[in-house]
Amino acid sequence: MTVTAGWYMALAASLFTIGAAGLLLRRNALVMFMSIELMLNSVNLTFVAAGRELGVLEGQLSVLFVMVVAAAEVTVGLAIIVAVFRNRATASVDELTGLRG
Which of 24, 98, 99, 101 touches another protein by CB under 8 A?
24
Q: Does 99 bind another protein (CB under 8 A)?
A: no
98 binds another protein (CB under 8 A): no
Q: Rounded to 5 degrees, what are φ and ψ at 63?
A: -60, -40
Interface of this chain with another protein, residues 77 to 96, rule: CB under 8 A: 78-83, 85-87, 90-92, 94
Residue closer to another protein (CB basis): 56 or 99: 56
8 A C-beta contact, residue 22 and residue 55: no
In this structure, the number of other CB atoms found within 10 A of the CB of residue 35 comes to: 19
Helices 58-88, 29-54: inter-axial angle, 10-degree rounding: 180
Contact 28, 55 (CB under 8 A): no
Query: How many residues of this chain bind another protein (CB under 8 A)?
Result: 75
> What are the residue ranges of helices labelled H in 57-101?
58-88
User: CB of 97: closest distance to another protein in angstroms?
Assistant: 10
Interacting residues with another protein between 38 and 67 (CB under 8 A): 38, 41-42, 44-45, 48-49, 51-61, 63-65, 67
